[in-house]
Amino acid sequence: METEERTDIQVKILQGAFNMFCQRGIKGVSMDDIAQHLAMSKKTLYKWFKSKDQVVYDSTTAYLKTLQTDCVCFVDQAENAVDELFQIMKLTKKVFSIIHPSIFYDLQKYHPESWDLWMQHKNKFMLGIVKRNIERGMQEGLFRKDLDVEVMARMRLALIELPFNAEVYPPHEFNIRHVQLAVLEHYTLGMATLKGHKLINEYKQITEEE
């Protein structure tokens, strides 16, 4: 009974805290803020988490676990490698649309262990997803057979982040969704066979009409 209660309370705290981090950035949220937001005493908060750093680490862990589950689900349900790419783009857009721009800076500067979680997510989980996608496309005849999978996969990871770089694409000048689609199209068309080109154009039209 106590285990279930503890789990429920921890989940409530972690979800509430992460939502606040997404809205205001990590540095802008204190343990007092979290306690007040959840209508609980700071003493209760510290009963389950010894520090803000632990809240950040545990909430990041929980979020990335959910994100990876969703990503695997999209991959498993995708009709082909091109469909998979467009589905992952939607998920990426959703992630960056809810996360405060300062979160990654705050993690890197103030919470290095939590930042390592994001780096592992990117350099292990996402890299693996992208490599398997390229290999799938090659097997399906949608991507060229002569591709260097490792080089292309690492380039794709860089391109995923590029539309959100405010120095390259200032948000007041560029529509993020449009930039995402243009970058994805450039990436996929560069890898695609004639069969792949046709399918990419079909998915592009569907995406633009949504």
Task: Give the Cα separation of 20 and 94 in Å (integer).
Answer: 17
List, in order, residues 6 or more apart from 6 with CB less than 8 Å away: 48
pLDDT digits (tens, 9 = 90+) for 129-170: 999 999 999 999 999 999 999 999 999 999 988 887 889 999
pLDDT digit string (tens) for the chain, length 210 residues: 344 445 789 999 999 999 999 999 999 999 999 999 999 999 999 999 999 999 999 999 999 999 999 999 999 999 999 999 989 888 888 887 888 878 988 999 999 999 999 999 999 999 999 999 999 999 999 999 999 999 999 999 999 888 878 899 998 899 877 888 889 889 999 999 999 999 998 887 766 665
Task: Give the Cα separation of 206 and 210 in Å (integer).
Answer: 6
SS3 content of the chain, % helix, strand, coil (to 5): 80, 0, 20
Domain spanning 62-209: CATH 3.40.30.20: no
Phi, psi of 192 (to 5 degrees): -75, 150
Q: What is the pLDDT of residue 197?
A: 94
Domain parsing of the chain, residue ranges: 62-209
138: enclosing H helix or E strand: helix 127-139
Q: What is the pLDDT of residue 4?
A: 45
Q: At what angle do helices 194-209 and 81-98 cross, to 10 degrees?
A: 40
Residue type, 62: A
Residue carrying structure tokens 């689900």: 73
Q: What is the pLDDT of residue 77?
A: 94
Single pTM value for the model: 0.85
Task: Give the Cα separation of 205 and 3 in Å (integer).
Answer: 50
